[in-house]
Amino acid sequence: MRRWSLILGLVAIVTFLSVLIRPAVVLAHERRTIAGKYDVEVGWDKEPALVGQLNGALINITKTGTEDGIEGVDRTLKVQIAYGGNAPKEFALHSVEGRKGYYVADILPTRTGSYIFTFVGQIEDTQVNEKFESGPGRFDDVDSLDSVSFPAASSDSAPTSSDVKAARDAADSARTLAIVGIVVGILGLFVGIAALVSRRRA
């Protein structure tokens, strides 16, 4: 009896922890129901989203209340991506093999901060114009590489133009001194030979 009580207690603890952990996993994507017919999940294809790293704006589309993905949307739906109040740029979506209803528009984010995805077109016979903005409680903003870089890059690890110029000047000076040294050595050798010849004649 005690053994069964222990097993049931462990099951209850695991279930409780899974409920606590699961919301933390889905917070990075925004979920929404469109026209009462489609459940969509929007966010970055790869997380964390980092500046300068190839990524994608994703939308996962299923029939409401099911896991049944909607196919063929890449032919009828596009995403407009905007940043910092600038005019949006339109990107085509492509399907992902083995993931029914999962579509991605490839993008390489070049600045950190908040991005806006607006999906326009059709899902099956339903007109769509849905805006999603990154931020707390929605999907992730784009972060800098500093958040995952280790160890920190040294400020003097990359040569500057002044460093290169100084190195070049130093090399030129060394080359000049080497040439002068060779000339002086040759002159000294000639002087020594001349002195030796004069001594023998004397």
Q: Kindly report, residue by residue over 37-90, the tens digit of the pLDDT.
A: 999 999 999 999 999 999 999 999 999 999 999 999 999 999 999 999 899 999
Strand arrangement of the beta sheet that strand 99-107 belongs to: 30-34, 38-44, 55-63, 99-107, 94-96
Give the pairing of strands 38-44 and 30-34.
Answer: antiparallel
Domain match, 110 and 136 both: yes
Residues 121 and 188 in one domain: no
Look up the pTM and report it. Answer: 0.63
Domain of 79: which CATH number?
2.60.40.1220
Please state whether the peptide bond connecting residue 23 to the residue before it is cis, i.e. omega within 30 degrees of 0.
no
- Examine residue 201 and state whether it is found in any structural domain, yes or no: no
- Tell me, yes or no, whether 99 and 46 share the same domain: yes
Is 169 part of a structural domain of the chain? yes
130/165 same-domain check: no
Domain that residue 167 falls in: 160-195
What are the pLDDT digits (tens) for 132-164?
999 999 999 999 998 788 787 666 555 555 655
